[in-house]
């Protein structure tokens, strides 16, 4: 069938352009040989990924084909998702009424349109902070996580590469921390990016809770990041520890005063907290100290923390959602983790409705709760997928279903610290 069609098209003197993936670079050779034919174009494509601007970029691509190759006739073959190419031709016809689309096809004109597609990165909305600054509403997480031996150690440039992919995909916010041991990688990836175009969050580790240890700790992070300032600096945990892991019971109010000093020195634009509970935040405010701009806590389908989120909202403190996928993936879920998993039929149904994936639905839900998710991935297509969540909206019914998965289940309760005076979570009974 395909052969016959190709012969027919050849006979019609059409230029054959066949693409089967937005990012399938292996097609380059084929494409180059095809575009060397000086005839009109037939376009066939199979991929289904889209975002809100797909048709606009496609129309730019089509226009480029027209100008560069003098094409004004397109035979387009229908694929999985014809809507965007139809829309794109609608835009083209406004400017070039003589252009003839003969039939319709799916989108995905990858390589030829690469320049246009470079602009196809997603625009992330902005969250206003209570100190007047603005924070992008989604960030790339950069913690390598845990394995059976403890914290996963960085091996080479895995995070550097991930941050580069993220920047290409439109991320403007990177979440990192001294303890992740990858701030140097983030710094290398950010080299050359105009400073005002990127929002960097980092965190003060437990070993630097003494008031006068805060500024030197932040300076060390800045050296690794090769930056003059971070946009947001958080106290990672209310728990202080000495280098040998014994408890440092420095009052976190003192640590917070160190944070305020760091901000005054211009080393960070905003300051905030991580893993603090409501009472601890209230105590900071009751003592007349500067209000934190943000609170970063674990938030996902199984741990939605509605009271804490509502409190922060009432105080205009931005909430950042770490471990946003919770136990969605079988590979990460502990045996006692409540549902759902990625193949939950109700979630799959919602995802299919919006032509999205289940992880995208989970992230979108966090955005709709008014929080800033921090999905971590080292995988290019997941990084791209995780930011592509700003072109759909869940219904109230769908949100009620997603709310029903809240079981107050914490992936990182850190019970090992539960006898510290500033342990922030519900304690486990020791029998």
Output 183 or 248, the one with its CB closest to ligand NAP: 183
Residue 209 to residue 380: CA distance in whole angstroms: 36
Tell me the CA distances in angstroms from 89 to 99, 100, 163, 204, one per residue in order. 9, 9, 35, 52
| Look-up of token digits 């938030």 | 299
Burial of 27 (0-12, 13-18, 19+ CB in 10 A): middle
Distance between CA atoms of residues 365 and 373, nearest Å: 10
Q: Counting contacts by CB under 6 A, is residue 136 touching ligand NAP?
A: no
Given 42, 57, 180, 409, the catalytic residue: 180
Question: How far apart (Å, rounded) are the C-alpha atoms in residues 198 and 177?
Answer: 16
Considering the rule CB under 6 A, would residue 327 count as an interface residue with ligand NAP?
no
Please give the angle made by the CA atoms of 86, 88 and 91, to the nearest 5 degrees: 115
| Nearest residue (beta carbon) to ligand NAP | 141
Alpha carbon distance 216, 267 (integer Å) = 10
Q: Is 329 in the site for ligand NAP (CB under 6 A)?
A: yes
Is residue 142 involved in binding ligand NAP (CB under 6 A)? Answer: yes
Between the alpha carbon of residue 7 and those of residues 3, 32, 91, the distances in Å are: 6, 20, 30
> Which CB atom, from 60 or from 172, has the smaller least distance to ligand NAP?
172
**Window 164 to 183, contacts with ligand NAP (CB under 6 A):** 175
The tally of CA atoms less than 13 A away on the side-chain side of residue 69 is 26
Measured from the CB atom, the residue of 70 and 329 that comes closer to ligand NAP is 329
Cβ nearer to ligand NAP, comparing 40 with 375 = 375
What are the tokens at 429?
A: 């009974």
Annotate each residue in 194-233 with x if it binds ligand NAP (CB under 6 A) or - if it does not, as one string. ----------------------------------------
Helix, strand, or coil (residue 32):
helix
Q: How far is CA 396 from CA 369, 401, 406, in A?
A: 12, 9, 16
Furthest CA-CA distance within the chain: 83
Q: Is 296 in the site for ligand NAP (CB under 6 A)?
A: yes
180 catalytic residue (yes or no): yes
For residues 38 and 14, the answer to whether their CB atoms sit within 8 Å is: no
**Binding residue (CB under 6 A) for ligand NAP from 141, 240, 340, 424:** 141
The site map against ligand NAP for 356-385 (x = CB under 6 A) is ---x--------------xxxxxx--x--x
Q: How far is the CB of 226 from ligand NAP (least distance, A)?
A: 19
Distance in Å, CB of 120 to ligand NAP, minimum: 18
Which residue, 75 or 135, has its beta carbon nearer to ligand NAP? 135
Query: Residues for the chain: how many in total?
Result: 431
The piece of 100-108, 111-119, 140-148, 418-426 that touches ligand NAP (CB under 6 A) is 140-148
DSSP structural state of residue 115 = H
Nearer to ligand NAP, 236 or 263 (CB): 236
For the four alpha carbons of 153, 158, 160 and 166, in that order, the dihedral sign comes to negative
Q: Least distance (Å) from ligand NAP to the CB of residue 91?
A: 30
The answer to the question of residue 325 lying near ligand NAP (CB under 6 A) is yes
Contacting ligand NAP (CB under 6 A), which of 22, 199, 208, 322? 322
Contact window for ligand NAP (CB under 6 A) among 148-156, 220-228, 321-329, 343-351: 321-329
By DSSP bridging, strand 150-151 and strand 173-175 are unpaired
* Among 16, 31, 129, 133, CA closest to 75: 16
x/- binding map, residues 6-45, to ligand NAP, per CB under 6 A?
A: ----------------------------------------
Total residues contacting ligand NAP by CB under 6 A comes to 24
Q: Which residue has the tokens 């922060």?
A: 312
Residue 42 has φ and ψ, to the nearest 5°, of: -120, 135
Please say which residue, 66 or 293, places its beta carbon nearer to ligand NAP: 293
- Interface with ligand NAP, residue 395, by CB under 6 A: no
Of the pair 126, 152, the CB lying nearest ligand NAP is at 152
Can you tell me the distance from the alpha carbon of 168 to that of 161, in angstroms, rounded to the nearest whole number?
A: 11
Q: Is residue 185 within the footprint of ligand NAP (CB under 6 A)?
A: no
Residues catalogued as catalytic: 180
Using CB under 6 A as the criterion, which residues of the chain lie in contact with ligand NAP when the complex forms? 141-143, 145, 175, 236, 274-275, 296, 322-325, 329, 359, 374-379, 382, 385-386
């Amino acid at each position: 069938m395909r052969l016959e069609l190709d012969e027919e098209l050849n006979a019609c003197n059409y230029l054959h352009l066949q693409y089967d993936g937005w990012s399938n670079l292996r097609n380059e050779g084929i494409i180059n040989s095809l575009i060397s034919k000086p005839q009109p174009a037939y376009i066939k494509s199979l991929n289904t990924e889209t975002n809100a601007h797909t048709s606009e970029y496609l129309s730019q691509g089509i226009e480029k084909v027209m100008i560069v190759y003098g094409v004004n006739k397109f035979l387009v073959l229908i694929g999985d998702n014809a809507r965007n190419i139809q829309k794109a031709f609608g835009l083209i016809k406004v400017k070039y009424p003589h252009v003839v689309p003969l039939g319709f096809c799916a989108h995905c004109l990858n390589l030829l349109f690469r320049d246009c597609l470079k602009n196809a990165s997603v625009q992330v909305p902005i969250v206003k902070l209570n100190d007047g600054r603005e924070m992008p509403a989604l960030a790339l997480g950069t913690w390598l996580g845990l394995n059976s031996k403890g914290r996963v150690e960085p091996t080479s440039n895995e995070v550097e590469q991930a941050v580069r992919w993220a920047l290409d995909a439109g991320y403007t916010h990177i979440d990192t921390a001294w303890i992740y041991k990858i701030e140097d990688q983030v710094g290398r990836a950010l080299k050359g990016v105009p400073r005002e175009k990127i929002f960097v969050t980092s965190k003060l580790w437990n070993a630097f809770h003494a008031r006068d240890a805060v500024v030197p700790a932040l300076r060390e992070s800045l050296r690794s990041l090769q930056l003059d300032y971070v946009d947001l600096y958080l106290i990672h945990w209310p728990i202080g520890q000495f280098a040998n892991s014994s408890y440092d019971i420095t009052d976190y109010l003192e640590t917070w005063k160190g944070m305020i000093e760091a901000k005054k020195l211009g080393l960070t634009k905003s300051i905030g907290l991580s893993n603090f509970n409501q009472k601890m935040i209230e105590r900071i405010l009751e003592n007349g100290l500067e209000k934190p701009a943000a609170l970063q806590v674990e938030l996902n389908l199984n741990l939605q923390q509605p009271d804490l989120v509502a409190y922060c909202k009432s105080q205009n403190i931005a909430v950042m959602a770490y471990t946003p996928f919770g136990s969605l993936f079988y590979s990460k879920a502990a045996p006692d983790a409540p549902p759902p998993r990625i193949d939950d039929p109700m979630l799959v149904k919602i995802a299919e409705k919006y032509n999205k994936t289940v992880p995208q639905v989970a992230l979108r839900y966090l955005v709709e709760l008014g929080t800033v998710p921090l999905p971590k991935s080292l995988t290019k297509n997941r990084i791209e997928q995780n930011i592509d969540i700003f072109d759909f909206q869940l219904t109230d019914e769908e949100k009620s279903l997603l709310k029903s998965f809240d079981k107050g289940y914490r992936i990182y309760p850190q019970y090992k610290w539960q006898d510290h005076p500033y342990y922030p979570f519900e304690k486990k009974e020791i029998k």
